[in-house]
Amino acid sequence: MCRNIKTLFNFDPAVTDEEIRAASLQFVRKISGFHKPSKANEAVFHAAIDEIAGISARLIHSLESSAPPHNREEAAARAKARAAARFGG
């Protein structure tokens, strides 16, 4: 799966529509192989992003968890530490 797509469920503060759309964009880019579609494919590319964002938002807002929400800052710090250990610096 695309490494740029991050887990969006069960975080405090809750996921935003912009984060869902960004993940949807990354997903469509990954499965289509296009970073930027041609003019001929632009409409279907953006329609796919919109559809996936809508489905993802419904899923995330419908899910339930008994676990406490994760803290975004702590998760980001852990990810940064993993990247530093993996790639140095």
Residue 3 has what pLDDT?
64
Q: Are 21 and 80 in contact (CB under 8 A)?
A: no
- For 22, other C-beta atoms within 10 Å of its C-beta total 17
In the chain, where are the structural domains located? 12-87
Helices (H), the chain: 17-32, 42-62, 72-87
Give 2's pLDDT tier (boundaries 50, 70, 90).
low
Question: How far is 16 from 39, CA to CA, in rounded Å?
Answer: 29
Place of tokens 């975080």: 11
> If you average pLDDT over residues 27-47, what whole number do you get?
95
Say whether pTM exceeds 0.85.
Answer: no
